[in-house]
Structure 1
Amino acid sequence: MLEECRAKVYLKNLHYQRAVARLYNRRVQPQPVVKGDIVLRRAEVSDPGHTRGKLTPRWEGSYHVTQVIRDETYTLSTMEGKTLPQT
């Protein structure tokens, strides 16, 4: 009885979360990244071995976009002008 009730609540919550995500994604407008923009970089890029703990920041930055190579691929530099490798 309790298991059935928990399963129903779980499914109802899952359905609600998907509906909210659909509404949000319908309204959000993608913003193109262009040369000169200031962006943050995902911290996973600089730590591929995942040696950091779960409480460390997920994002690093601020960085300048110095070149747009293709969609979602950019060359970044620090605020001082040093180019970052493999970004």
Structure 2
Amino acid sequence: MADWHWDCDPKDLLDDLEDAVRHEVERLVGEIAVRDSMVYQDGAAYTGTGPGLQIESRGRLMLTYLTDIRGERIIIIQITWLG
């Protein structure tokens, strides 16, 4: 498994979140990164079409993100917390 990572765009997306919400975001996006690293095992050598904009929700948290397969990363673009 590759060392996939995640980023936010904009970079300050997590800045105003409470610690508990930030922890949930980090946990969920970590799970997404592990899952996608197994789905797209070619990583940087991948030549197919990416999955595009995706939404993942767990409990009160919803993340909108992109999977950058060749960059081996998840890019969070929106966080919705229904708390």
For normalisation by structure 2, the TM-score amounts to 0.29
For normalisation by structure 1, the TM-score amounts to 0.28
The answer to which structure, 1 or 2, has the higher relative contact order (CA under 8 A, 6+ apart) is 2
